[in-house]
Amino acid sequence: MSSYTAPLKDMQFVLNELAGLGKVAALPGYEEATTDVVEAILDESAKFTGGVLDPLNYSGDQEGAKWADKSVTMPKGFKEAYRQFVDNGWNALSGNPEHGGQGLPKVVSAAVQEMWKSANISFSLCPLLTLGAIEALELAGNDAQKAMYLPNMISGNWTGTMNITEPQAGSDLAAIRSRAVPQGDGTYRIFGQKIFITYGDHDMAENTIHLVLARTPDAPEGVKGISLFVVPKFMVNADGSLGERNDVYCVSIEHKLGIHASPTCVMVHGDNGGAIGTLVGQENQGLKYMFVMMNAARFAVGLEGLAIAERAYQHAVAYARDRVQGRAIEGSASGVAIIKHPDIRRMLMLMRANVEAMRALAYSVAAAHDAAARHPDAAERAQNQAYVDLMIPVVKGWSTETGNEMSYLGVQVHGGMGFIEETGAAQYMRDARITTIYEGTTGIQANDLMGRKIAREGGATIKAVLGTMQQTRSELAQQAGAEFAAIAAALGRGIEALQQATDYIVANYGSDVRAVAAGAVPFLRLMGVVSGGWMMARAALAAQGRIAGGDADPFYPAKIATAHFYADHVMAAAAGLAQEVVQGGASALKLDEAMF
Amino acid sequence: MSSYTAPLKDMQFVLNELAGLGKVAALPGYEEATTDVVEAILDESAKFTGGVLDPLNYSGDQEGAKWADKSVTMPKGFKEAYRQFVDNGWNALSGNPEHGGQGLPKVVSAAVQEMWKSANISFSLCPLLTLGAIEALELAGNDAQKAMYLPNMISGNWTGTMNITEPQAGSDLAAIRSRAVPQGDGTYRIFGQKIFITYGDHDMAENTIHLVLARTPDAPEGVKGISLFVVPKFMVNADGSLGERNDVYCVSIEHKLGIHASPTCVMVHGDNGGAIGTLVGQENQGLKYMFVMMNAARFAVGLEGLAIAERAYQHAVAYARDRVQGRAIEGSASGVAIIKHPDIRRMLMLMRANVEAMRALAYSVAAAHDAAARHPDAAERAQNQAYVDLMIPVVKGWSTETGNEMSYLGVQVHGGMGFIEETGAAQYMRDARITTIYEGTTGIQANDLMGRKIAREGGATIKAVLGTMQQTRSELAQQAGAEFAAIAAALGRGIEALQQATDYIVANYGSDVRAVAAGAVPFLRLMGVVSGGWMMARAALAAQGRIAGGDADPFYPAKIATAHFYADHVMAAAAGLAQEVVQGGASALKLDEAMF
């Protein structure tokens, strides 16, 4: 089994050269995020994730979370690792300083969180949900709720959950039926069953704070009648100590394909009189709060795709160096390490190039998020927010689909050993499989991208992004050498394909939404492929700048070679994807439903 | 859980309209394979596979094969199902009539075997290995060996295995170390450890006949010193009764990602004095025999890719019809079955179109195999054999990669439920994962295709196939309507891409084999995509012929719609794949090994 080594060099390169960490650190409130401080944080995070979380990844998968007597017991070592995680302050990294957080920008926490997810995605889901619940309370909680919950949640002493899904209400939240009955004392009693609740119960923290969607008695039908409640596992007394056990219990956990160490709970509220909760924000505004949180959660799941691909890549490289099999195809040597075989090399390059592209895109979106939140200039804030809104479904949808493909390739590099669970490669593939589903399937991301983010505004933001991509292409054209010529040509073709597909969407969404929507996922993939190619082109330019400045670090030529590979092998798909979007609507919908 | 329903209508269509069952039945020795007889066989096979094998698929996965005391116990129900399988004569379907087989052509057994694999791939691996061992003995066994083993193996009373792989010898058989020591009485004592031995031990049959690769004492190094031996689990007495237990044992089984009911054994020969075996064919010719068998096995594994995709498709369609979630995107209805959502429809169409294309290609290769074996005209035999040789790596490599992609989509259609093991969709994905690996990875298939099947003969066979594809395109151009125009245009672009990539391979394989080989897998995918598109185009033409003849069966317009979808959505990838082949060699190999 290989060990996880955080890719610090590429992370630093992306942060500094592509995501503009310097500019983020110039924003009000982020002054502490200097290059030196960030480097120190990432170094510490690399040690913690490689030394503590990664060693529990396989054992956690094999043992799995266990349920008995309405309680979940985590696999061996998780409780201790979580204690260390909290004690080292990792959970508080991005938290609001008013409640004990360190207030670091999202672009920094993105890099740190990528490490958690690479090392142990099952573990990482616990803080992911806690951070989501914190965001909900920050956004809409009242002062009393904030004071009661936030300090312990930001530290990580208490964890959080999102109680959203019900058996009949998955992607469609309009179908939620859980009820919240006001008690006249400012509290509500919650009744209902929730499914797929990540870390709904566990033994790593003393309290769990559930954010729950439910309907009040006179709420309107559909999504306009959903309210958000906070329901603690243990009631919290006025002095902050824990009180009675609340009437919310985990009645079973799921038997899943992957993320075995992450308990996926069926939660029952109110089987014994009602779970006591308080309203978060205003009645019937629950969905609005959820959508704000959801953007953060979708970004975080996109990081999972990147992170698993990185881990699968490292695992595959280690095996490919070590495994001796066959002779070189050019016939000069027998008994060679398989990394010498051209097809193995192609697979490793594909993993590497996609990982680097996904990382660059994700961190650039995180940096834009920071600028959207803190830039003194309103126009800058708006422009950055538009970029974030456009790219969130791409980071989520494209990175998770790509993460699946890359972990699939990771198995392939291992040959027969890849199919044996002890090898570990299969776990990454199993774990990755949920990422294109939860927090909105790829289809839902693609509809969001096409409908809300492009068609609704006539393609204004994406056209601006295409303009920026064109600038990058012009810069590439000024570089010498075959590699830059290939990168420039591929980016040019990619921009053209994306432009063509965008024009088609803007022109036809209103008149034939079904046909356009049949191309939503190919469009999302196109958008990911080309955005990733743009990021790799920017990376190649930055690397060339360092080389031109006399830097002899082999990292820089390797970056250019990887960008060149991406241009040849990944960007090659762009025109075909555009063709699917523009041409494929009618044939996708033609077949009569009865004929399937 | 859905039930498996054999796709009899499409199977019959492919057999009769595309694979030329009538012509096969006109070959000497295959006269019994009339349309009526074949229909009756497929009907019975549909009942057996749907009624007996499919219901054991999920339970077999959950229970798994169990090992204790050097013996394997199969999951509940498997032993009884196997007894029925043998008693009904299914194992003997394609066997030589001289030893009790029914002697049906490969094109018929392909359809029957597709059903076994769709219903229960773990079960189907037992006869797959038995049929391979039968083929080895038919090919190279002496009369005594044939008389001793074949009748019971063809009936299925005894099963067979291939003991090939060793820890250091996976893809590279030159590294085999197992030893065979002659005893002076015509027998040998075999010593060595073999791994990944499918059905190396089990409790469904009274004897297991192992075909084992090993080296005699003075054998040359490498692949020229490997001999093939037959080693029974129980010795066979002169009267055909079973004798002593031989010294070959299963010492453990693997803990795998999928095919849990199929025991994957570590076999130890000779820990107690040597496993007694006899030489099959001539000394040091073992690899030659293996290669002949391997073509059959590779074809059979290609069928697995098709079969799992078919099963995953049926499972996804059933769920998509049943699951109500969300409102129609055009806003006209709420609470719709998800099959109404355009992206779900696209995924189902993608599964359907790929399944139909894979089936048509596989059966066409099986029919060519029959003609290559039995056609009275030597030139016809040679031409058909060349087509089979060219297409075997495509059927194996492309169908298994596609089978993985389609079972992945099957999970996606199920949303969150797809990640829950009880749903069953995840099992197809797990089971499919081995198919791109065993019997030669996709990389090995692609090297075989590019090197032995194309470059070595200067592309003669593929150029002939491209010519036939052009004829199909001309026929398409004579049809009216937008669907045929789209299919013709896509096939034209596909042919062009394949031609371009072929020319590049033929021109450069000799001078820069590493760069060409870096594009081997994209080329194999291109070959599969375009060959599948050619088959779908032929299918559309045949369907149009039936419609023009007055047949009102909705099957035919559905076939045309599916071919149209394939043209728009699958063929769209062709040009990009060609680009990867032609342009991508240098960038795939550029990065220094130390930089990974």
Q: What angle do CA B175, B178, B181 make, to 5 degrees?
A: 135
Asked if A572 lies within 8 A of B579 by C-beta distance, the reply is yes
Alpha-carbon span B91 to B156, nearest angstrom: 6
Alpha-carbon span B487 to B564, nearest angstrom: 6
Alpha-carbon span A287 to B283, nearest angstrom: 75
pLDDT of A291 higher than 90: no
Beta strands B242-245 and B71-73 are: unpaired
Beta strands A227-232 and A275-280 are: antiparallel
Q: Mind telling me how many Å the CA of B340 is from chain A's nearest CA? A: 8
Q: Distance of CA B119 to CAs A69, B5, B60, B116, B397, Å?
A: 38, 9, 12, 5, 21
pLDDT tens-place string over residues A372-405: 999 999 999 999 999 999 999 999 999 999 999 9
Residue bearing tokens 């774990």 = A431
Cβ-based contacts of A484 with chain B (< 8 Å): none
Q: Is this complex scored with an ipTM above 0.95? A: yes
pLDDT tens-place string over residues A69-126: 999 999 999 999 999 999 999 999 999 999 999 999 999 999 999 999 999 999 999 9
Structure tokens at A123: 């573990």
Residues sharing a CB contact under 8 Å with residue B289, sequence separation 6 or more, in sequence order: B136, B139, B140, B228, B280, B281
The answer to whether B52 and B78 have CB atoms below 8 angstroms apart is no
| Identity of the amino acid at B252 | S
Asked if B572 lies within 8 A of A576 by C-beta distance, the reply is yes
Alpha-carbon span A338 to B271, nearest angstrom: 32
Q: Mind telling me how many Å the CA of B296 is from chain A's nearest CA? A: 20
Quote the distance between the C-alpha of residue A335 and its chain's center: 41
Is B72 strand, coil or helix?
A: strand
Length of chain A: 596
Q: What is the pLDDT along chain B (596 residues), one digit of tens a residue?
A: 899 999 999 999 999 999 999 999 999 999 999 999 999 999 999 999 999 999 999 999 999 999 999 999 999 999 999 999 999 999 999 999 999 999 999 999 999 999 999 999 999 999 999 999 999 999 999 999 999 999 999 999 999 999 999 999 988 899 999 999 999 999 999 999 999 999 999 999 999 999 999 999 999 999 999 999 999 999 999 999 999 999 999 999 999 999 999 999 999 999 999 999 999 999 999 999 988 888 899 999 999 999 999 999 999 999 999 999 988 888 866 789 999 999 999 999 999 999 999 999 999 999 999 999 999 999 999 999 999 999 999 999 999 999 999 999 999 999 999 999 999 999 999 999 999 999 999 999 999 999 999 999 999 999 999 999 999 999 999 999 999 999 999 999 999 999 999 999 999 999 999 999 999 999 999 999 999 999 999 999 999 999 999 999 999 999 999 999 999 999 999 999 999 999 999 999 999 999 99
Residue bearing tokens 């469009």 = A523
Q: What are phi and psi of A511, to 5 degrees?
A: -90, -30
CB pairs under 8 A between A and B: 283
Residues sharing a CB contact under 8 Å with residue B408, sequence separation 6 or more, in sequence order: A404, A408, A433, B429
Between B170, B340, B576, which is nearest A416 by CB? B170
Structure tokens at B223: 């692949």
Residues sharing a CB contact under 8 Å with residue B300, sequence separation 6 or more, in sequence order: B113, B128, B131, B132, B439
pLDDT tens-place string over residues B279-302: 999 999 999 998 888 889 999 999
| Identity of the amino acid at A181 | V
Q: Mind telling me how many Å the CA of B523 is from chain A's nearest CA? A: 11
pLDDT given for residue B332 in this prediction: 67
Q: By CB neighbour count within 10 A (0-12 exposed, 13-18 middle, 19+ buried), where does B8 fall?
A: middle
Cβ-based contacts of B564 with chain A (< 8 Å): 587, 590
Average pLDDT over residues A426-443: 98
pLDDT of A51 higher than 90: yes
Residues of B designated as active site = 439
Of A171, A179, A250, A188, the closest CA to residue A213 belongs to A179
| Best residue in A346, A349, A401, A450 for a mutation probing chain B (most B CBs within 10 Å) | A346
Q: Pick the catalytic residue: A114, A166, A439, A580?
A: A439
pLDDT given for residue B333 in this prediction: 67
Q: Distance of CA B310 to CAs A461, A591, B317, B404, B410, Å?
A: 41, 18, 11, 11, 10
The answer to whether B488 and B473 have CB atoms below 8 angstroms apart is yes
